[in-house]
Amino acid sequence: MQDTKALQVAVVGTGYVGLGTAIMLAYLGHQVVGLDVDQEKVEMLQRGELPIYEPHLDQLLQDSSSRLRWTTDYASAIPNADVIFICVGTPPLPGGQPNLAYVADAAQSIAQNLNGKLQVVVNKSTVPVGTGDWVARLIEEYAIDYHANRYLVVSNPEFLREGTALGDSLYPDRIVLGSDSPAGIDRLVELYQPLLDQQFEAPAYVPRPDGYTTPQLVTTSLSSAEMIKYAANAFLALKISFANEIAGLCECVDADIQEVTRGIGYDQRIGPQFLSAGAGWGGSCFGKDTAALISIGREYGYTMPILTAAVEVNQRQRQVVISKLQQHLHRLKGKRVAVLGMAFKPNTDDLRDAPAHDCIARLADLGVQVVAHDPVAMPRARQEWGHLRYQEAASAAEAMRGADAVIIMTEWDEYRQIDWSSAPRGMRNSLVIDTRHVVPDNCTMGVVERIGRRLTDPLAMQVPA
């Protein structure tokens, strides 16, 4: 479909990163094999079904299907590949350091199936500094016929945001390539040339942004590329925790956090993004990556107090939600509370480290009857949150019916479209804890508690059902 020199690509791991990488590269014209050890997931993909939710990914899959195949067999995916991506999970261990067992398994299986031609192994997974060298040693150890100048390792960290992953993939700010081998960098530049030149037909459902030109190509050493990924995520986590810490002080002095962040966000040195105060950050990256950086520092006897404080503020922010509820309802045992939003952010079904999880768990421990709703993530929650005590609601309205309070934990557009001037009428008490600034400022029904903002008129409390 695209006018590019087609390379043979293998992508090991079909999670959020691996799937997006495989489908995007196939759309750009490369021949791609997606590999996963999970037979059930591979069979789903072979039927054209996605195991995750990401806006428009199903359409891009359909448009790219002629250049895609899926397998569990390394022997059928690796030998012919020019570029091999490692996109497996690196979940945190109890001490904060990432678990590299899946990376090791993938590297060993890849090494055993290399065929002697120039092949580039790409670390796309988020891994600690030094992992690239470690993967190179694994390849040297396990390759049947090792070739020092033909099996090359490149670090190519991803900077995708779940919910906008396709736009981030097709129109990136930068492409980071780290390697000690110029030939490895050259092969990845060849692979990404359609992105670097933006010489591909933009899909109608993910149009090229107005004013967008081309991404910045950043070439570095292996270790610098690995550190770039961690440093980027840690800095974004810092911004969110900073906004949350200022929000708490805003409540003390009767200032408005949204006015404050708007005022400082116009400063080009700061910028407006990632300054939204709320229930704190979640997902698979920020918590894991900050913990990994702190753990790496600990290995070298180097303390990281700023990052440590950011993590502490984030954990405290989750308790703030419960504290606000207790201030109004006092005794929570026996109360009915609706939780709107379960995914850690909108436009995804990813539940990893979602603030809603901790909220539901704490409410249940306090004897609250929790009724939860999410437009997308409830099926996944049935699989992953079986240890929590809550009831599902088919809609936001059903969740709110008869509730003593509602807590908004995810800023889905569906919740923004609710008529908040009338919706609380069906509640036992019209109390809304809005952690994501979803309820409009002009709402006059009931009490709306926000993070870092003035409380609405409490005289509207106790609206009869």
CATH number at residue 283: 1.10.1040.10
Residues 81 and 161 in one domain: yes
The answer to whether the CB of 82 falls within 8 A of the CB of 118 is yes
Query: Once rounded to an integer, what is the mean pLDDT over residues 213-240?
Result: 96
The residue among 256, 285, 310 that closes a domain is: 310
Residues belonging to the active site? 285
Residues 114 and 34 in one domain: yes
Higher pLDDT, 148 or 400: 400
Residues 69 and 187 in one domain: yes
Higher pLDDT, 433 or 423: 433
For β-strands 68-71 and 216-220, DSSP reports them as unpaired
**Which pLDDT score, from 0 to 100, does residue 462 have?**
44
**Which pLDDT score, from 0 to 100, does residue 345 have?**
94
Residue 161 lies in a domain: yes
Residue 361 lies in a domain: yes
Residues 236 and 183 in one domain: no
348-364 pLDDT per residue, tens: 999 999 999 999 999 99
Range of the domain at 290: 230-310
Residue burial 365-403, b: 16+ Cβ < 10 Å; e: rest: ebebbbbbbbbbbbebbeebbeebebeebeebeebbbeb
Residue 349 lies in a domain: yes
Residue 109 lies in a domain: yes
Residues 304 and 335 in one domain: no
Residues 344 and 424 in one domain: yes
463 falls in which pLDDT band (50, 70, 90)? very low
The residue among 218, 238, 269 that closes a domain is: 218
Query: Once rounded to an integer, what is the mean pLDDT over residues 421-439?
Result: 90
Report how many domains make up the chain.
Answer: 3
**Which pLDDT score, from 0 to 100, does residue 5 have?**
83
**Which pLDDT score, from 0 to 100, does residue 93 have?**
86
Residues 153 and 171 in one domain: yes
Calculate what percentage of the chain has a pLDDT beyond 90: 86
Residues 21 and 163 in one domain: yes
92-125 pLDDT per residue, tens: 888 888 899 999 999 999 999 999 899 999 999 8
Query: Once rounded to an integer, what is the mean pLDDT over residues 11-31?
Result: 96
257-309 pLDDT per residue, tens: 999 999 999 999 999 999 999 999 998 889 889 999 999 999 999 999 999 99
CA distance 23 to 30: 10
**Which pLDDT score, from 0 to 100, does residue 284 have?**
83
446 falls in which pLDDT band (50, 70, 90)? confident
Sheet (strand 447-450) strand order: 391-392, 369-373, 336-340, 405-408, 431-434, 447-450
Calculate what percentage of the chain has a pLDDT beyond 70: 97
Residue 418 lies in a domain: yes
**Which pLDDT score, from 0 to 100, does residue 457 have?**
53
Least confident of 183-187, 302-306, 460-464: 460-464
Query: Once rounded to an integer, what is the mean pLDDT over residues 148-156?
Result: 93
Q: Say yes or no to pLDDT of 459 above 70.
A: no
Query: Once rounded to an integer, what is the mean pLDDT over residues 168-195?
Result: 97
**Which pLDDT score, from 0 to 100, does residue 4 have?**
57
295-342 pLDDT per residue, tens: 999 999 999 999 999 999 999 999 999 999 999 999 999 999 999 999
33-87 pLDDT per residue, tens: 999 999 999 999 999 999 999 999 999 999 999 999 999 999 999 999 999 999 9
Residue 133 lies in a domain: yes
* Cβ count near 267 (within 10 Å): 9
Residues 294 and 343 in one domain: no
**Which pLDDT score, from 0 to 100, does residue 464 have?**
40
452 falls in which pLDDT band (50, 70, 90)? very high
The residue among 292, 310, 328 that closes a domain is: 310
Residue 224 lies in a domain: no
**Contact residues for 334 (Cβ-Cβ < 8 A; gap 6+):** 367, 368, 369
Q: Say yes or no to pLDDT of 3 above 70.
A: no
Residues 339 and 255 in one domain: no
CATH of the domain at 363: 3.40.50.720
Residue 104 lies in a domain: yes
456 falls in which pLDDT band (50, 70, 90)? low
Residues 237 and 323 in one domain: no
Residues 345 and 299 in one domain: no
| Average per-residue pLDDT for the chain | 93
